[in-house]
Structures are given as structure tokens and as C-alpha cells.
Amino acid sequence: MGKVIIGVTISLDGFAKDRDGSVGPLYPDLEQLDASDVQQASIRNTGAVVMAWKEYAMAEDPDRYAGNYEYQVPLFVVGDRVPAEHPRETKELTFTYVTDGVASAIRRAKAAAGKKDVTIIGSAAMTRQSLETGLADELHLDIVPFFLKEGSRPFEAIRDLPVRLTRLQSIDLPTGRVHIEFQLTYDTPAD
């Protein structure tokens, strides 16, 4: 069975979005990143994606996901509503809208992914919620070498989360960003 991987990119000062809620400034190297061995391995190994509604809605036309999005796998979009129109799908890329929480989306994505990984892509809130479910196996963190100074920090509101991180590997990408993979171990509370 595959792993559940939280993927997040942050600036050197820990922001996953700028003050306007955009992730754009974190990807000045998007074309190079997409061609990197790290990203290509993620695409090959991913069998389903869990995505926050905000990230899903960033596409001006959701029909463009089919055939164009890097992950051509079942997408599980977490939000509080289902769109009025279902976007175009392909044999590989399908949409499931999950309104009963991140844990439900992860479980459904695991079933769809089979032996492949589930990749979680989302906002700072989605990152926190995914960690809090205790269902994630790894955290893949990209750090870009500049300061955003303002925005949303994915790890800011994590307080008593019973999780330990063990670094698996660190890769310096030619784009200047650093990719770090951590194994997540959840401590069970003592009775």
C-alpha cells in the first residue's frame, strides 16, 4: 500500500501563501520544478490527490485539469460545497467533492490510489488538518530561498500535535529550493 504524503512549499520565513492568499510567488521556478526528478517521481508514484477547495478554485477553468494538470489521477477536493457544474474528466482524472472533512477525503483517496501514494496539496489550513488526522505518513517540504514577510503559515497553529518528524532525505534542487522529506510518527497518548 502507498503512503499518504503532505506536500507543502514555504518561503524561508515559513509562509505558504503571500498576504493576498497567492502561492504564485513561491513558484518562480515552476517550469524547472515540473521537470525535476523530485516532481517527476511524485507524479509517477501518486495514485490520488487530496486538494483543498482554494487550490482547486485557483484554476480559472476547472475543465483544464483534464489532460493538463500534472497529476492525472482521481482528485478529491475538500470543501463545504459541490460545484453546480461538474468539470470535464478523463479516464485517469476524476473529481470527487468531499464535504465531510479531510480525514474522509484521505480515506477515500487511499482506496482510489491502491498501491500508489496519496499526495495532499493544499492551503496552510489543509496542511494542519492533514497532520491532525494522524493519517499522513510523510511530509515533503520545499523551502524557497527568499522571504515573503507576510501571509499564511501552515505550522503556526500546531500546538500539542503528538507527531515526531524524522528526516528521510534532503535534496538541493537546481532551482535554489531545498526539498526535505520527513517521516511522520504519531505518539499515542498515555492512559
Residue with cell 501571509: 151
**Dihedral over Cα of 127, 179, 54, 76: its sign:** negative
Average pLDDT over residues 140-163: 90
What's the angle, vertex CA 179, arms to CA 176 and CA 182, rounded to 5? 160
Cβ atoms of 117 and 5 within 8 Å: the answer is: yes
pLDDT given at position 190: 44
C-alpha cell at 184: 511522520
What is this structure's pTM? 0.93
The CATH T-level fold of domain 4-162 is Dihydrofolate Reductase, subunit A (3.40.430)
What percent of the chain shows pLDDT beyond 90?
Answer: 74
